[in-house]
């Protein structure tokens, strides 16, 4: 979202360059005293820069603040796994959480942001998009998945959920309609849900 807004601001600025230039030239021509012709633009430049930079800075600050809050939540998740005594388990979770879990806990993960982990990332997506049938359960058991971790606020989770049917595993878990072969062992107000596989 922020990237798109920044592109729009720059595009609008580019469109305004001819209009602003024409206005500046006309104002410059109307000033008859040579010293004022030089002083006026020099004095106006900081005002124009402030008008352009202050709104952008506010947007960037709020975006950075939101990102920092999300990162703190993501970093607190490995602590929560340790508190729940979830160790030496095979965890199926989104790509963003994979690296944090594997580096800050004693658990194994299937998906992580590494180019050599295509199979694990595809397994996550295919499993989450499949229905809650016995076939899905068998696939999960075959891969020895013991824990499914979902963050409803995670961007990858949102995309997979949106691209999946209502009967998909991910949408059932998000709605709390977990299949009988799973058991919810943790959930919080931040949208984190942890399920164990029976």
Query: How confident is the model over 45-65, as pLDDT tens digits?
Result: 888 887 878 877 777 777 777
18, two tokens: 């001819």
The predicted model gives 161-182 an average pLDDT of 91
Model confidence at 183: pLDDT above 70: yes
Question: Among the listed ranges 68-72, 123-127, 186-190, which one has the minimum average pLDDT value?
Answer: 68-72
Per the model's pLDDT, the better-predicted residue between 39 and 135 turns out to be 135
Q: Which percentage of the chain shows pLDDT scores above 90?
A: 32
Single out the residue of 48, 63, 65, 49 nearest to residue 6, CA to CA: 63
The predicted model gives 1-15 an average pLDDT of 66
Calpha distance 134→21 (Å, rounded): 68
Each domain of the chain, given as residue ranges in start order, spans 2-68, 75-197
Fold of 75-197: Rossmann fold (3.40.50)
Single out the residue of 110, 79, 107 nearest to residue 93, CA to CA: 110
| pTM, entire model | 0.64
pLDDT band at 75 (very low <50, low <70, confident <90, very high): low
The predicted model gives 160-165 an average pLDDT of 92
The predicted model gives 132-145 an average pLDDT of 91
Model confidence at 6: pLDDT above 70: no
Distance of CA 114 to the CA centre of its chain: 17
Calpha distance 169→180 (Å, rounded): 12
The predicted model gives 38-43 an average pLDDT of 79
Average pLDDT, the chain: 84
Model confidence at 89: pLDDT above 80: yes
pLDDT on residue 1: 47
Q: Which percentage of the chain shows pLDDT scores above 70?
A: 93
């Amino acid at each position: 979202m922020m990237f798109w807004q920044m592109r729009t601001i720059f595009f609008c600025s580019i469109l305004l360059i001819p209009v602003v230039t024409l206005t500046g030239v006309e104002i410059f021509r109307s000033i008859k005293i040579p010293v004022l012709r030089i002083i006026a633009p020099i004095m106006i430049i900081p005002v124009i820069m402030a008008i352009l930079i202050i709104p952008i800075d506010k947007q960037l600050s709020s975006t950075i603040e939101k990102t920092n809050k999300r990162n703190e939540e993501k970093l607190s998740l490995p602590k929560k796994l340790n508190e729940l005594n979830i160790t030496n388990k095979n965890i199926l979770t989104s790509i963003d959480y994979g690296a944090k879990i594997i580096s800050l806990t004693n658990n194994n993960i299937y998906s992580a942001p590494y180019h050599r982990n295509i199979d694990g990332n595809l397994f996550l997506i295919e499993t989450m998009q499949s229905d809650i049938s016995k076939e899905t359960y068998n696939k999960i058991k075959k891969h020895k998945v013991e824990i499914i971790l979902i963050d409803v606020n995670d961007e990858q989770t949102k995309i997979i959920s949106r691209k999946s049917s209502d009967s998909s595993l991910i949408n059932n878990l998000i709605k709390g309609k977990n299949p009988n072969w799973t058991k919810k062992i943790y959930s919080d107000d931040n949208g984190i849900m942890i399920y164990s596989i029976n």
